[in-house]
Amino acid sequence: MKTRLAIVLVAAAALILVGCGGKGGGNTIKIGMLFNMTGAQASLDAPSANGANLAAKEINAAGGVLGKQIKLVSFDGKSDAATIGTAATQLAQTEKVVAMFGFSDSDMVMAAAPTAAKAGIVFVTSGATSPKLPDQVPDYLYLACFGDNVQAAAGAEYAINSLKAKTVYLLIDKGMEYTLLLGKYFKERFVEQGGTVVLEDNYQTGDKDFSAQITKLKGQKAKPDMLYIAAGPDDVGTIVKQFRDAGVKSPIMGGDGYDTPLLVQVAGKGAENVYFTTHSLMDPKLGTDAVKKFIAAYQAEFKVPPENAFAGLGYDTVKLLADSIKRAGSADPKAIRKALQATKDLPGVTGAITYQEGSRIPQKGVTVILVKDGTFTLAQEVVPQKVPQP
Amino acid sequence: MDREEGCLLEIDDLSKTFKGLHAVENYHLRLSPGEILGIIGPNGAGKSTVFNLLTGHLRPTRGSIRFRGQDITRLPPDRIAALGIGRTFQNIRLFASMTVLENVVSARQLKERSGIIATLLSWPSFHRTEQRLASEATENLGLFGLADRAGKAATSLPYGDQRRLEIVRALALGPTLLLLDEPTAGMNNQESMFVLDLIRRIRDQYKLTIILVEHNMPLVMQLCERIQVLNYGQIIAEGTPEQVRADPKVVESYLGRAMEDSKDAEARNG
Amino acid sequence: MAMSTRLQRLIPPAVMIAALAAILGATDLVAGDYLQRIVIIIGINVILVASLNLSNGFTGVFSLGHVGFMAIGAYAASILTLPVHLKAVNLPDLPGWLQGVAMPFLPATLIAGLIAMLVAFAVGLSLMRLNGAYISVATLGFLVIVQVVLVNWDQFTRGARTFAGVPAYATIWNVWIWAALTVYVVWRIGASAFGRDMRAARDNEIAALSLGVSVIRSRLLAFCMSAFLTGVAGSLWAHFITSFSPKSFFFTQAFSIITMLVIGGLGSVSGSVIGVFLITVLSELLRNAERGFDIGALHLPPIYGASQILMAVLFVLVIVFKPAGLMGGREIDIRGILRRIGASRRGKGAA
Amino acid sequence: MLKLETVDVAYGHVQALDGVSIEVRDGELVALLGANGAGKSTTLMAISGIVRPRAGTLTYNGVDLAKSSPFDIVGLGVIHCPEGRRIFGGLTVLENLKMGSMRRAEKQGVRKDIDWVFSLFPVLAQRRHQSGATLSGGEQQMLAIGRALMAEPRLLMLDEPSLGLAPLLVQAIFKVIRELHHRGVTILLVEQNVRQALAVADRGYVLSTGKVMLEGTGKDLRSNPEIEQAYLSAAPGARA
Amino acid sequence: MTSTELLLQQLINAVSIGSLYALMAIGLAMVFGILRLINFAHGDLIMVGSYVTLLLMLLGLPFLLAAAAGVVASTIAGLIMERVAYRPLRGAHEIAMLLTSFSVTIFLENLAIILFRPTSRAFPAPAVLRSVIEIGQLRVAGLDLIAIIVAAVLLLGLTLFVRRTNVGIAMRAASQDLLAARLMGINVNKVIATAFAIGSFLAGVVGLLWSARVGKIDPLMGFNPVLKAFVASVIGGLGSLPGAVIGAYVLGGLEILLQGLLPSALTPYRDAFVFAILIALLLFRPNGILGSTEREKI
């Protein structure tokens, strides 16, 4: 019994030591980074973390910000809200970071951002695209990416105007806020423009077999002009592959979840005639110079091409924060927030970022990509005419 | 079937079929208060099945069981126990995580316990009840010479003591009818004789009616006023020990040459 | 004499409450948010694990689905406490009579617990008839069903979307009052006729039935009480985290609670507390350590996932070497410890 | 042949065997007697390698059994026919017998032994394709013994072969035991049925609470007053 | 598409997915039968095999060779799992073993995250596996047919193995009475290792079929299949091999049926229905379809 008690006491003491062991940095600026490196969310977040680390490395190699090196202080969120909340508290209180960023999922953002706000520092989410997020954490929560309403509207307008689609089959992943919103906003804008939804079906994140959905679609009398499938990056390839294998040839459209090499790798020829809306054309040959540079640097650093769109978003988020600090002229959180809000036309690999007065969702153009001969090609740059209310 | 007045237990036409196999067939019984009945028969003759039907652990395929005039044929085991039928088991079934005392208390508390509110608030009435339960249980244990083991883990007792504890526990339920399933299995003769004596004592002290399943012939013969012999699920003989012992069917199917053997042995030893 | 035994009975709880209050007071006043968070998490986990013990430990009904009750408690309480203006935005399809409700924390928590209990009663009526691994499977099924319903019942839960804006009502104090209450209740039940029924049914169902113990009823009692407390913990958790979605209440959470329970020792109330404390503190330590650190010139890179791996290995080691958990179903004898302390003090005084 | 010297076995804190020394010589039939919980079954379990002794030596023809696995011990011809029959209910009678001969390579001998077992227990031959679970208690006990015989035992350990059997069947079983003994199989017999056991045994040991209390020839033990008092006197005869 | 074709299509879907569940469930059932262990980590063997196959393919090995190596890797992983994690637990309570298997799962998944990164990787199956056969309006994926055939062959082989060979009979014997099996000189370690090897081998095969079907793999890929296999083996009766197979096809059929028949508003509740049916089944047949109805002997 006594030894047990002793173990507990020693453990507690060690905890306090480690917990309070934050080193005050004279010559570094500490930015808190929160991603889920393990657990169910890891496949979305890990590329973002890579991108962010790459950006920090580049910034530091170029002399840092305000003459200081940037240090990304990072915890694993473990895809668990309680852990994330604790980690955010550590970042704010123990590590005394000047800003925080991370996460690709609004749940996870919401577990961390209020803590940051309470401590008076901004939280920039690199990949959570819910346009409702900023309302939920006033003043301190920023998106580095466009809202889902924007890209869904862009997709719907492109479908009606360029693809001349009048009827659509809608398949939505019911397990993610991202896909739910995407589907909802697309439907809203598509119907608004006179289109019809012939059949709406759904699946759960991680489902591997879509034969029942496919059979149901094929049992439909009226064949839809196109398919809109709201899916996350881990599922898109599989879904497209299985629909194509079953002989569904109509155009398939989706959101930035499709922006992953897995789409072509998994679906192969099936990926032809797939359209999706995303931040920019991430192609080592056809992309902008910034994109080409990013892809090359990423490949060099991590020995793989960027896994999905989130890699670029993580990269841009760090660049965005660094830029704000530079413009603020100090690492004071208040000044950083002010500078961040004033960001205008900051170029990034996922498009230029501008925050309008009073809005914490950036204005970004939407890129529509078409998969052709196994590569992503630019179909159109769209600025939607009307965006559904968040 | 006619109903008899003053009968404690009336069983008519009781049958149980397992996958077409007749485990018990057309079993019947009239039991008067205070009686000690023995059921004997070869293994697999259906003795334990009768017990299990009687205590609700098995549902009969056919037939009826009335206990003190009430139909208990399809009642669940806990309800039957609450009506006053206690039993022990062929293989010992003590509560392994409990002490000897707790094992007995867990049976006693059926009749007397504190409500959930009193328990949660730790009212004085709760502690009074607990103390009374404990002292009554200790008393029960004393009767069987187990009082000094009250605080020990039940399963740490020697085998014979465990068997006795099971009987104490069944008694603590306060039953009218007690079913004992091979109470002396695995005991040597000294221990068996102790149990024999005990069964007589508790019968008198608690005004019990007892049904006994046993393989220990001398014990059954000495203890029981009436014996039923089962074979292949059917009653093949019924009567006083002397009648049963003399029944040629019984000798042939069950006792076999055992009696002769024992005579041989006596002859040899003598 | 009677008076003095009564008093004696009161000493251990009184000492414990005083000690707990002192620790909490110190944490509240002195410690930073980080430590306070850990203390709150430990408190909530104590409720979860101790109440799970009531079902899984006392009755042997090994439920894998208790996180479902936690989810029910979290959602029910949050719907009740969500401020009216947020309800209009976040839950526009809520029935009218709920739209205008924004309850204080305590009644919302109690109602949430009761709802969890009612659900437990409804599913328990049939589930409690099963045994062994099958009951684990069926409760796992229950968890999946809860999960599916939460994801699809948009009107009340916002579906898979984040349920946000829950007021941060949970404090060290209300969490630990509930935790102390839970431990007390579980301990009282364990030492009563109800607890003996439960253990009897666990140890030997057939014998218990033959002694008039209604096995299903006593299991159901444990299951329902346990569900109530788990629902309460869900409410506390929700008002601590303040935003969540159905996936917060799934297997990962289920396994973590069960791990604490088993490491502490099934059937031991003090074991539950010890298990929670050890695992929470240890995983916190490992989580900090896996980020990598420098020892002198040696630089260890971060290895995310290492903490989970170490916890898994530790768990297997405990099961192999201490199969019954650290407490092995026994309890810490507080009265005995107090007596010993008293004796040693007296001894010293005499010397 | 088999020799146990001051063997201690414990389950957790409970000492099951306390300095037990036993010897079984080639061709002997030795009875191990004692009340339930005296350590009889534990002794057999220790010999067949299921439980490990804490102290003492266990040798069989010079081989250290304490260091051998149950698998190896069966290979030595030491076969343990466990209490409660424990036949494989889902396997047919024939498959059960085959399981007894798992460690034997020669098919010829196995086939011969199956015939031999069927001749010992003709009822098994009739039911050879029936599953074990459908047999009656007595038939199951015959199958259990038959299965053990299939392993070509040089030392056969029988644990309570008569337990729970009607008197008629007990006699049948003991007849087989006697027959095996005549064939030269060395037998270590654990029995509750003291009278019957001592009637067939060359020698016997009486265990009590994990210790050997008495030992001697079957005849000596039968006439020993302590045994007489403990097992035989008060209740003559037919304990089944 | 006519309704007959629709029905036929759904039937093929059901049989094909049921076949994969069956191959998984068999592995679970075999181990459970002997050890009373519900091996949740069985799913991670799928992951191990698939990753090994992928890595070898990236190194330039032809698919068949890489696949064979993957299956072997699954088998070895299963054997190691048994030796390191489960053998020290022999005779422990079934709940303790179940929880241990959860730990093994956590261990393997996080190890894979560290070694292979958490992100999904494409699994480039050869064209044969991706072919589609058209019969009238009916389109049958080559993979579906292959899955059905492979499952049929393996199940038949397994049946012969447990019925005819000595090791197979010994396996059944050990699953009925482990102690008696040891006393008869059955090498229990060998039998258990064989059960693990066979189960893991089948898991490796499922891994290939599964990965080829899905087209990509990730460290957590084993979770869903094992959950489904687990449900299947419970439906059939835990520990019963034929039961596991029947349960798997019932489950596959049920899923496809519900997805196809339920009105759109209810399809998201499909899994809830599946589990509700499972619970209902357990109430009427507490030990599954083929599990014995016998209660504990009193």
Do A216 and E271 lie within an 8 Å CB cutoff? no
Among C330, C189, C312, C188, smallest CA distance to C265 is for: C330
Question: Does C198 contact chain B (CB < 8 Å)?
Answer: no
Please tell me which residue, D228 or E242, carries the higher pLDDT value: E242
pLDDT at B264: 42
Residue A321's SS3 state is: helix
Do C199 and B77 lie within an 8 Å CB cutoff? no
Q: Are C286 and C313 in contact (CB under 8 A)?
A: no
pLDDT at C303: 87
Do C207 and B98 lie within an 8 Å CB cutoff? no
Question: Each residue of D17-49: pLDDT tens digit?
Answer: 999 999 999 999 999 988 766 788 899 999 999
Exposed / middle / buried, residue E163 (Cβ in 10 Å: 0-12, 13-18, 19+) = exposed
Question: Each residue of C214-241: pLDDT tens digit?
Answer: 999 999 999 999 999 999 999 999 999 9
Do A110 and C243 lie within an 8 Å CB cutoff? yes
pTM, to two decimals: 0.88
- Do D and A touch, counting CB pairs below 8 Å (3 needed)? no
As a whole number of Å, the end-to-end CA separation of chain B is 51
Average pLDDT of the segment spanning C40-51:
96
pLDDT at C2: 52
Question: Does B67 contact chain E (CB < 8 Å)?
Answer: no
Written in H, E and C, the secondary structure of A219-259 is CCCCCCCEEEEECCHHHHHHHHHHHHHCCCCCCEEECHHHC
pLDDT at C33: 86
Chain E: closest CA distance from residue C163 (Å): 19
Q: Which site among A2, A9, A48, A76 would you substitute to test the C interface, given the most C Cβ atoms closer than 10 Å to its Cβ?
A: A76
What per-residue string of b and e applies to A198-209 under the rule 16 or more CB within 10 Å gives b? Answer: bbebbbbbbbbb
Residues E106 and A39: their CA atoms lie apart, in Å, by 10
Query: Given a cut of 90, is residue A218 above it in pLDDT?
Result: no
Range with the poorest average pLDDT among A2-6, A251-255, C201-205? A2-6
Query: Given a cut of 80, is residue C339 above it in pLDDT?
Result: no
Q: What is the distance, to the nearest Å, from the Cα of residue E295 to the centroid of all Cα atoms in its chain?
A: 28
pLDDT at A233: 87
pLDDT at A6: 52
Residue of chain B whose alpha carbon sits nearest to that of E297: B91
User: Which residue in the block uniquely carries the two structure tokens 């560290």?
Assistant: E114
Mean pLDDT of chain C: 88
For strands E121-122 and E216-217, give the pairing.
Answer: antiparallel
Do E130 and A268 lie within an 8 Å CB cutoff? yes
Q: Which E-chain residues 99-158 have CB contacts (< 8 A) with chain D?
A: none
- Do B and E touch, counting CB pairs below 8 Å (3 needed)? yes
Residue D35 half-sphere exposure, CB side, CA atoms within 13 Å?
20
Question: Which residues from E are below 8 Å from D88, CB to CB?
Answer: 172-173, 176-177, 180-181
Question: Does E183 contact chain B (CB < 8 Å)?
Answer: no
Please tell me which residue, A139 or A17, carries the higher pLDDT value: A139
| Proportion of chain E above pLDDT 90, given as a percent | 52
Vertex E107: Cα angle to E104 and E109 (nearest 5): 105
Query: Given a cut of 90, is residue A334 above it in pLDDT?
Result: yes
Chain B: closest CA distance from residue C310 (Å): 32
Question: What distances in angstroms separate CA D212 from CA D17, D48, D224, one per listed residue?
Answer: 9, 19, 15
Who among E139, E141, E220 is closest to A40 (CB)? E220
pLDDT at B221: 86
Give backbone dihedrals phi and psi of D216, rounded to 5 degrees, phi first: 165, 180
Residues E32 and E98: their CA atoms lie apart, in Å, by 10
Question: Which amino acid does the sequence have at E275?
Answer: F
Residue of chain E whose alpha carbon sits nearest to that of D74: E185
Chain C: list its partners (3+ Cβ pairs within 8 Å). Answer: A, B, E
pLDDT at C324: 80
Please tell me which residue, A186 or A286, carries the higher pLDDT value: A186
Reported for D216-225, long-range contacts at CB under 8 A and 24+ positions apart, including other chains, are: D218/D31, D221/D33, D222/B269, D222/D198, D223/B269
Residue of chain D whose alpha carbon sits nearest to that of B187: D35
Q: Are A346 and A319 in contact (CB under 8 A)?
A: yes
pLDDT at A8: 54
Residues B222 and B240: their CA atoms lie apart, in Å, by 11
B179 sits in which H/E element: strand B177-181
For residue A122, give the DSSP letter.
-
The pair of three-digit structure tokens given for residue B144, joined into one six-digit string: 């069987």
Who among E93, E98, E100 is closest to C316 (CB)? E100
| Proportion of chain E above pLDDT 70, given as a percent | 97
Who among E172, E180, E188 is closest to D86 (CB)? E180
DSSP string, E171-234: HHHHHH-HHHHHHTT--HHHHHHHHHHHHHHHHHHHHHHHHHHH-EE-TTTTHHHHHHHHHHHH
Q: Are B7 and B31 in contact (CB under 8 A)?
A: yes
* Best-predicted range by mean pLDDT (B16-25, B100-109, C259-268, E236-245): B100-109
Q: Which ipTM did the prediction report?
A: 0.86
pLDDT at E297: 55
Residues C65 and C134: their CA atoms lie apart, in Å, by 12
Among E138, C97, C259, smallest CA distance to A214 is for: E138
- Do C and D touch, counting CB pairs below 8 Å (3 needed)? no
Q: Are E251 and E298 in contact (CB under 8 A)?
A: no
Residues D47 and B199: their CA atoms lie apart, in Å, by 39
Range with the poorest average pLDDT among A341-345, C319-323, D179-183, E146-150? C319-323
Query: Given a cut of 80, is residue E292 above it in pLDDT?
Result: no
Q: Are E202 and E27 in contact (CB under 8 A)?
A: yes
Residue of chain E whose alpha carbon sits nearest to that of B47: E298
Question: Which residues from C are below 8 Å from E83, CB to CB?
Answer: none
- Confidence grade of residue C28 (pLDDT, cut at 50, 70, 90): confident
Residues C252 and C247: their CA atoms lie apart, in Å, by 9
Residue A213 half-sphere exposure, CB side, CA atoms within 13 Å?
26
Residue of chain E whose alpha carbon sits nearest to that of A310: E119
Do E120 and A262 lie within an 8 Å CB cutoff? yes
Residue of chain E whose alpha carbon sits nearest to that of D45: E183
The pair of three-digit structure tokens given for residue C111, joined into one six-digit string: 């109602």
Do E218 and A262 lie within an 8 Å CB cutoff? no
Query: Given a cut of 70, is residue E226 above it in pLDDT?
Result: yes
DSSP string, C207-235: HHHHTT--HHHHHHHHHHHHHHHHHHHHH
Report, as ranges of residue numbers, the positions in chain B whose pLDDT lies below 50.
Answer: 1-2, 256-270
Residues E277 and B12: their CA atoms lie apart, in Å, by 40
Chains A, C: CB pairs < 8 Å: 119
Among A76, E41, A89, smallest CA distance to C306 is for: A76
Give backbone dihedrals phi and psi of A96, rounded to 5 degrees, phi first: 50, 55
Residues B20 and A329: their CA atoms lie apart, in Å, by 91
pLDDT at C149: 93
Residue of chain E whose alpha carbon sits nearest to that of D103: E185
| Proportion of chain C above pLDDT 70, given as a percent | 91
Q: Are C211 and C200 in contact (CB under 8 A)?
A: yes
Question: Which residues from A are below 8 Å from E260, CB to CB?
Answer: 212, 215-216
Q: Tell me the β-bridge partners of C295.
A: C298
Question: Which amino acid does the sequence have at A334?
Answer: K
As a whole number of Å, the end-to-end CA separation of chain D is 32
Question: Which residues from E are below 8 Å from D79, CB to CB?
Answer: 183-185
Query: Given a cut of 60, is residue C351 above it in pLDDT?
Result: no
Question: What distances in angstroms separate CA A192 from CA A16, A130, A166, A202, C304, one per listed residue?
Answer: 58, 21, 12, 22, 46
* Best-predicted range by mean pLDDT (A348-352, B45-49, C290-294, E255-259): A348-352
Exposed / middle / buried, residue C92 (Cβ in 10 Å: 0-12, 13-18, 19+) = exposed
For strands A141-143 and A123-125, give the pairing.
Answer: parallel
- Confidence grade of residue A390 (pLDDT, cut at 50, 70, 90): confident
Question: Each residue of D69-103: pLDDT tens digit?
Answer: 999 999 999 999 998 889 998 899 999 999 999 88
Residue B150: CB atoms within 10 A of its CB come to: 18
Chain E: closest CA distance from residue C226 (Å): 19
pLDDT at B258: 43
- Confidence grade of residue A317 (pLDDT, cut at 50, 70, 90): very high
Question: Each residue of E130-160: pLDDT tens digit?
Answer: 788 887 777 788 888 999 999 999 999 999 9
Residues E263 and D119: their CA atoms lie apart, in Å, by 67
Query: Given a cut of 70, is residue C172 above it in pLDDT?
Result: yes
Residues E237 and E290: their CA atoms lie apart, in Å, by 5
Dihedral, A37, A42, A46, A49 alpha carbons, nearest 10? -60
Ramachandran assignment for B62, one of left (phi > 0), alpha (psi -120 to 50 degrees), beta (any other):
beta
Q: Which site among A3, A41, A71, A86 would you substitute to test the C interface, given the most C Cβ atoms closer than 10 Å to its Cβ?
A: A86
- Confidence grade of residue D235 (pLDDT, cut at 50, 70, 90): very low
Question: Each residue of C91-129: pLDDT tens digit?
Answer: 888 998 898 889 999 999 999 999 999 999 999 998 898
Enumerate helices (H) and strands (E) in chain B, giving the number of each: 11, 10
Do E216 and A234 lie within an 8 Å CB cutoff? yes
Query: Given a cut of 90, is residue C200 above it in pLDDT?
Result: yes
Question: Which residues from E are below 8 Å from A216, CB to CB?
Answer: 259-260
Residues A360 and A136: their CA atoms lie apart, in Å, by 12
